[in-house]
Copies of this chain bind each other. A is one copy, B any other.
Amino acid sequence: MAGAPGPGRRPGQSGTREAILAAARRQFAELGYDRTSLRQVALEAGVDPGLVRHFHGTKQELFVAVVELPIDPATALPALLTGDRDAMGERLATFLLEVIESDPVGSPIISLARAAASEPAAARMVRDLVTTRILAPLTQAIGADDAALRASLLGSQVVGLTFARYVVGIEPLASMPREQVAAAIAPTMQHYLTGPIRTTPAAR
Residues of A within 8 A of B (CB): 31-32, 34-35, 84, 87, 90, 94, 113-114, 116-119, 123-124, 126-127, 130-131, 135, 148-149, 152-153, 155-161, 163-165, 167-173, 176, 179-180, 182-188, 191-192, 195, 197-202, 204
Residue of B nearest to A31 (CB): B119
Contacting pair B156 A161 (CB below 8 A): yes
Contacting pair A152 B127 (CB below 8 A): no
With a CB–CB cut-off of 8 A, which chain B residues contact A182?
A: 201
With a CB–CB cut-off of 8 A, which chain B residues contact A135?
A: 170
User: Assuming the A-B contacts A152-B172, A152-B173, A171-B152, are A200 and B183 also in contact, with contact meaning beta carbons closer than 8 angstroms in the complex?
Assistant: yes
A98 to chain B, nearest CB (A): 13
Contacting pair A187 B191 (CB below 8 A): yes
Residue of B nearest to A89 (CB): B202
A153 to chain B, nearest CB (A): 6
With a CB–CB cut-off of 8 A, which chain B residues contact A176?
A: 149, 199
Per the bound structure, the CA–CA distance linking A117 and B185 in Å amounts to: 22
Contacting pair A201 B32 (CB below 8 A): no
* A158 in complex: contacting residue of B84, B148, B160, B191, CB < 8 Å: B160
Per the bound structure, the CA–CA distance linking A117 and B164 in Å amounts to: 11
With a CB–CB cut-off of 8 A, which chain B residues contact A204?
A: 84, 87
With a CB–CB cut-off of 8 A, which chain B residues contact A191?
A: 187-188, 191
With a CB–CB cut-off of 8 A, which chain B residues contact A155?
A: 160, 164, 170
User: Assuming the A-B contacts A32-B34, A185-B153, A199-B184, are A163 and B171 also in contact, with contact meaning beta carbons closer than 8 angstroms in the complex?
Assistant: no
With a CB–CB cut-off of 8 A, which chain B residues contact A187?
A: 191, 195, 198
With a CB–CB cut-off of 8 A, which chain B residues contact A197?
A: 184
> Which of A118, A160, A171, A201 gathers the greatest number of chain B CB atoms within 10 Å?
A160
**Other 15 A-B pairs with CB < 8 A, given A34-B34, A160-B161, A187-B195:** A31-B119, A117-B163, A127-B170, A148-B171, A152-B171, A152-B172, A156-B165, A159-B159, A159-B160, A176-B199, A179-B201, A180-B200, A186-B201, A187-B198, A188-B191
